[in-house]
Every structure is written in C-alpha cells, then in structure tokens.
C-alpha cells in the first residue's frame, strides 16, 4: 500500500494558473442611497474566507457592471413635493350659531326698513279720487208726455217747478203721525189710509170740503183702513184718525178723469220708464208716486246729476 504523502511530512504545492485579465470597465458609480446600515458585530461563522495568496487583487477590488446597465441614463431628480393644501379648521359651533343669528337679524331689519319706507311713501302720496263717469239721462223720453205736461217737464228739469194751484186749497195737517195720503194727490178712488200706531182702537173718517162725513169706521189694532166707497174724482178730501184724547187730520185730492187717463196711457206705453212716470206723477201732484219713481231712477243711474236733482226736488216738496 502506498504511503500517504501528507503523512510523510512532505509539502505539496498546488499551482493555480492566473485568471485571464478582465479589461477594466468604466465604473459607473451607483447613486448614493441614504440607507445606512448599522454595523453588526462580526461573527466568525459569517466572515468571508481569506482569499488564498496569488489571486489577483485587482479583480477582487473591482465590481462587475453589465454593459446594458452602463448604458442606462440616470433618472432626473424628482421634483420637490407640493405642500398639501392647508385645511381650514371648522369654526366653533357657538361662533357659527351667533353668525347665523346676526345674519337673520340683519335680514329682518332690512325687510322691516323696506316695509316702513313703503308705508311712509304710500301715506305721503296724495290720495287720488276715483274717476267718476257722469251718466246723463236720455231726456228724449219726455217727448212721450201728453202735450199739457210738456212745459211742466221742462220746468222740472230746469229746477223751476211749481205745484199746481189746487195745492193752495188743501187743509193744513194737524196732529201729525199720518203717513198716506198727506198733502198730495192720489190716483185711486178707494185709497188705503195709513197712520202710525198709537193705540189699540181708532175712529177713522173721510170728510168732504164742507166737512160732511163721506165714510167712517172703527178700527181695532191695525193702523190702516181702505175707504169702502169710491170717492168722486177731482175733489179734495179730509181724513182724520181719532184716539182717546187726540185727533190727527190731513187732506188729499183725487185726480180727475182726464189726469187719470194720462197716467193710464203712459203706464201702458212707458210704464218701465222711471223718468217719464216720475215727471208725470210730480206734475200731477202724486208726490208719493213721484218719490218712488225717482228713487228707482237714481238706483239705475247712480252717477246721473239729473236723477239726483229730481229726487232732491220731490223730497223738498214732501217736507214743505
């Protein structure tokens, strides 16, 4: 068996041929990093083995960088980061509530000031009277009146009307409180006499101009009475109402046949004309009938000066 050379004490030298020289590459220094590693205590197990003598030191000191990496262009430096927008801190809830109250109060004051200014301007502005359109009556209707009544109609419209002469023969009223007929003419021959109630029992009578009794009656309760007999036309009569301790008296005239015929004809042809019937009634002395017609005329023509004048005229005649 051959002897082991290691045991014989002989030294055996192993020759390692040198490695071919590698051309030095233009080293490109990698960008420095800010990472700093803390040196750890060396551990015998982790320490690299010492290179054997004879190994090229140049190879160990240089680092291999691939050509593709060498051709890379360094990246441009990154721009500085923009500062983050500063967030507004939310206001305190109490401050927000106060601001809302102040804003509401300011708006209320503005509205109140505007309203007060409007009221002041409206109060100071002169009040304009409403425009009234004058409504004149159509006086052409008066041509329907009988010929004897034409002049009197013109006098009525001119404000120069005078009562017929027979009014002077009427006896003046006494005692008062008699309602119809009172110092006027009537059309009906059996009038209904009316008076104000003052007792439970009345004695009523109609007298002719010679104070002779034409008709009489005793009335209980109701203050009116219709004459039971026809009164002759064209005559003046006196009627009286007697109660215990009081006698009330007044007079009236019944239209004659001609005058009654005029009214009948006008009523058939122009009965709806308050102007025609009112003027005819006024000229004939029918004051109560004329008042009724002129009141209706004034209601139909509230802005008519003629209607207002006619109503004023008949009121004045009834209060004479």
Whose structure tokens read 């803390």? 38
Residue 43 has pLDDT above 70, yes or no: no
Q: Does the residue 20 lie in any domain?
A: no
The verdict on residue 202 lying in a domain is: yes
Please report which confidence band the pLDDT of residue 269 belongs to, taking 50, 70 and 90 as the band edges: very high
The tokens for 95 are 């401050």
- Contacts (Cβ under 8 Å, ≥6 apart) of 58: 21, 24
Using the predicted structure, report yes or no on whether residue 173 has a pLDDT greater than 70.
yes
CA distances from 207 to 51, 146, 185, 227, 250 (A): 176, 32, 16, 11, 10
User: By the 8 A CB rule, do 137 and 304 touch?
Assistant: yes
Res 47 pLDDT > 60? no
Residue 50, pLDDT above cutoff 60: no
Quote the percentage of the chain above a pLDDT of 70: 70
Under the banding of pLDDT at 50, 70 and 90, the label for residue 127 is: low
Q: Is 9 helix (H, G, I), strand (E, B) or coil?
A: coil
Domain-embedded: residue 221: yes
- The structural domain count of the chain equals 1
302, part of any domain: yes
Residue of 211, 166, 195 lying closest to 203 (CA atoms)? 195
What's the CATH number where 236 sits?
2.60.40.10
pLDDT of 168 > 80? The answer is yes
* Structural domain span for residue 226: 142-318
Of the spans 44-48, 61-65, 139-143, which averages the highest pLDDT?
Answer: 139-143
Q: Residue 274 falls within a domain, yes or no?
A: yes
Tell me, rounded to whole angstroms, the distance of Cα 50 from its chain centroid: 110
Give residue 17's pLDDT.
57
Pairing of strands 192-195, 224-226: antiparallel
Select from 239, 125, 229 the least CA-distant residue to 177: 239
Lowest mean pLDDT among 3-12, 142-151, 199-208: 3-12
pLDDT in tens, 57-113: 544 445 667 776 677 667 777 677 776 666 555 555 555 777 778 788 788 878 878
Give the pTM.
0.60
Q: Looking at the predicted structure, is the pLDDT value of residue 2 above 70?
A: no
**Predicted confidence (pLDDT) per residue in 221-259, tens digit:** 889 999 999 999 999 999 999 998 899 999 999 999 999
Q: How many CB atoms lie within 10 A of CB 182?
A: 18
Helix (H, G, I), strand (E, B) or coil at 99: helix
Q: What's residue 319's pLDDT? A: 82
Is 71 inside any structural domain?
Answer: no
Q: ∠ CA(240), CA(245), CA(248), 5° rounding? A: 20
Say if residue 11's pLDDT is above 70: no
Query: CA 240, 241, 243: angle at the middle one, nearest 5?
Result: 140
In-domain check, residue 90 = no
Alpha helix (H) residue ranges in the chain = 57-61, 67-70, 93-124, 150-158, 257-270, 274-284, 287-300, 305-318
Q: Work out the mean pLDDT of the chain and round it to a whole number.
A: 80
**Per the domain annotation, does 134 fall within a domain?**
no
């Amino acid at each position: 068996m051959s002897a082991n050379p290691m045991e014989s004490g002989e030294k055996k030298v192993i020759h390692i041929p040198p490695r071919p020289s590698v051309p030095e590459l233009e080293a490109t220094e990698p960008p420095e990093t800010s990472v700093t590693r803390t040196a750890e205590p060396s551990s015998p197990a982790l320490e690299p083995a010492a290179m054997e003598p004879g190994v090229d030191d140049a190879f160990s000191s240089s680092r291999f960088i691939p050509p593709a990496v060498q051709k890379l262009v360094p990246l441009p430096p990154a721009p500085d980061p923009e500062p983050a927008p500063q967030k507004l801190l939310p206001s305190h809830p109490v401050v927000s509530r106060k601001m809302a109250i102040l804003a509401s109060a300011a708006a209320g004051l503005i509205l109140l000031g505007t309203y007060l200014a409007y009221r002041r301007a409206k109060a100071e502005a002169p009040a304009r009277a409403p425009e009234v359109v004058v409504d004149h009556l159509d006086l052409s209707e008066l041509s329907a009146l009988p010929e004897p009544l034409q002049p009197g109609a013109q006098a009525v419209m001119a404000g120069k009307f005078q009562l017929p002469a027979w009014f002077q023969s009427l006896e003046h009223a006494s005692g008062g409180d008699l309602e119809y007929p009172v110092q006027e003419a009537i059309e009906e021959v059996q009038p209904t006499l009316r008076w104000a109630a003052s007792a439970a029992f009345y004695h009523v009578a109609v007298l002719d101009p010679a104070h002779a009794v034409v008709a009489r009656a005793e009335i209980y309760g109701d203050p009116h009475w219709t004459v039971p007999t026809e009164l002759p036309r064209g005559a003046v009569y006196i009627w009286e109402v007697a109660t215990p301790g009081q006698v009330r008296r007044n007079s009236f005239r019944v239209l004659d046949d001609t005058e009654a015929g005029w009214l009948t004809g006008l009523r058939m042809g122009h009965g709806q004309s308050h102007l025609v019937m009112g003027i005819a009634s006024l000229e004939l002395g029918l004051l109560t009938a004329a008042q009724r017609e002129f009141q209706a005329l004034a209601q139909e023509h509230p802005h008519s000066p003629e209607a207002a004048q006619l109503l004023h005229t008949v009121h004045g005649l009834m209060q004479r």
